[in-house]
Chains A and B, each alone.
Chain A
């Protein structure tokens, strides 16, 4: 508050306070921007002047003589006009004084202000906002447990379906087939084509150094069929289909649709996860086959145009390299990746929170988990099959 006003207020309070001690007189000069503490008839009183709220700060000094249990009065008789800012500042001051154990009495406030402050009384909000956060390791273990349990639930539901104890609506599977297959095919094919070109280009550069360009077709064919077609299909499905599954199911979770199924006694895994799993397992071989074919075909371009391998020789080498072992390993891996995409998407969706933010979190988590799982599975299966001599 301006110095001139402060001095005037201090002088005014020296006249009204009961200055029975030097300390009290000193406190009376503790003027905090448009207000002044003073002792009036033995009660510490804060007199508020017009414009007080504009300079009020929560850390404004209080008289040191105020101890817990003291009675204080806030006098707003000269406050004049008030608005929400004044009310908020006054409420904040009152709360701060209460927290110090003081008994606060309001007097002389303008019409309406006291009633507004009366409204702002402690409500029923829990003072403890949430349970204490678990340690990171505990959370990670808990999440891993949920995921393993979810894998188990899916396997049980699949077994029940195979034994005819659970029905999956054909229309649901068809709908998911439409969503996952034809709509994913263009991007899977494009990606596999580009990977085929890269593989041939880089493989050719290395083989050319030892004059073994003739093996380029074999490298591309085995690479695409056994590893890369499945891996790229899995990655694309994780981003496109896994994210969609997570978003769909998380939205249903937020809208209590999953709860509605549970209340009816419908198993959400059988009703929502199995159609998606079956659709993707049905569609994965087709996507894999086309992806591998396109990758091998596109690999022919650098082989023929850059490394001087004839088209006929490329085709012949490709067919020679393509064995049943490579085919079933590629198919197994691709279907495994597709299953992982479904499980990651559905697990995150079904365990999502109940808000818009949770839908976003579930979608992101589904994609990240699917990618990590796919790469981990690719590594494990490659090592395992090679170790087994395949």
Chain B
């Protein structure tokens, strides 16, 4: 079995002072695609914010490569965070910068690449997501699908070991969603990137996930983890119902 890259141990997730998920225990193995799935409002995106260290958990811990993501000197925590790339739900591209600048800023701040190499890598990563001519474009000039892909390219800027994707397919048509799914699989396959993806797109879950974690809003904890097909066939009733209904929708 592959060694874990990210370990979630007894994690409790709060939002607005209210605990929305607790007792979360799972790990993300190197090179796998783990999908966090559940109905709207169950705390998927909030959990992701805890996994990337943006929020402090009220209980439990998140270990990245054995290091606690929430305890320690800020400088060392920041260095840990730079080892993963995050794609936010709305893209979060810096609107005052072109796509090229969006990608090159983290490289300029946190790598030793010279300007030529930064530009080459930025252009290449934009090409990877199908935006090879978009280097000079501003975020406001992009369609929703292009913005998502640009955000993915920026998440790849520092060649992360772990890629965190928050609802990459939300707001996209099925073709663009499938294209993003395929891209995620290629990145995992050819670059060996580990991926954690939050989604409620069931088609995406079955397309890309090695394993899925199901967050139950009623139980306020994870009620299943495993390969999507297994969960659909043998998971708890709520999980099968969710997969079945969402799949039929």
Contacts and interface: CB of A to CB of B under 8 A. Distances in A.
B127 A123 contact: yes
A84 interface: yes
Contact of A85 (B121, B129, B133, B183): B121
B116 A119 contact: no
Contacts of B128: 116, 119-120
Nearest to A128: B133
Given A129-B136, A353-B140, A123 B123 contact: no
A116 B146 contact: no
Contacts of B190: 112-113, 115-116, 119
A148 interface: no
Interface residues of A, number: 31
Interface in B127-183: 127-134, 136-141, 146, 156, 159, 183
A120 B95 CA distance: 24
B131 A125 contact: yes
Interface string B179-198: 00001001001110000000
Contact of B132 (A83, A85, A88, A125): A125
B123 A92 contact: yes
A164 B121 CA distance: 62
Nearest to A88: B124
B117 interface: yes
Contacts of B131: 123, 125
Interface string B97-119: 00000000000000001001100
A121 interface: yes
Contact of B133 (A87, A120, A125, A358): A125
Contacts, number: 90
A54 B217 CA distance: 50
A355 interface: yes
A373 interface: no
A78 to B, nearest CB: 20
Contact of B120 (A58, A113, A116, A127): A58
B3 interface: no
A122 interface: yes
Contacts of A127: 133
B121 A84 contact: yes
A261 interface: no
A121 B126 CA distance: 10
Contacts of B130: 121, 123-125
B96 interface: yes
A26 interface: no
Contacts of A113: 190
Nearest to B127: A120
A325 interface: no
Interface string A75-96: 0000000011101110110000
A119 B95 CA distance: 26
B137 A129 contact: yes
A89 B120 contact: yes
A83 B113 CA distance: 14
A193 B129 CA distance: 61
A58 B140 CA distance: 30
Contacts of A91: 123-124, 127
B140 A88 contact: no
A129 B142 CA distance: 10
A84 B146 CA distance: 22
B124 A92 contact: yes
Contacts of A354: 140
Given A116-B186, A120-B128, A354-B140, A88 B120 contact: yes
B159 A119 contact: no
A88 B119 CA distance: 10
Contacts of B127: 91, 119-123
Contact of A129 (B126, B129, B141): B141
A374 to B, nearest CB: 29
A119 B134 CA distance: 16
- What 7 A-B pairs are tightest by C-beta distance, nearest first? A123-B130, A355-B95, A120-B127, A88-B124, A125-B133, A112-B190, A125-B134
Interface of B: 95-96, 113, 116-117, 120-121, 123-134, 136-141, 146, 156, 159, 183, 186, 189-191
Interface of A: 57-58, 83-85, 87-89, 91-92, 112-113, 115-116, 119-127, 129-130, 353-358
Given A119-B128, A120-B127, 15 more contacts: A57-B116, A58-B116, A88-B124, A89-B120, A113-B190, A116-B190, A119-B127, A119-B183, A120-B124, A122-B132, A125-B132, A130-B138, A355-B95, A356-B95, A356-B96
5 contacts: A91-B124, A115-B186, A115-B189, A119-B190, A125-B130
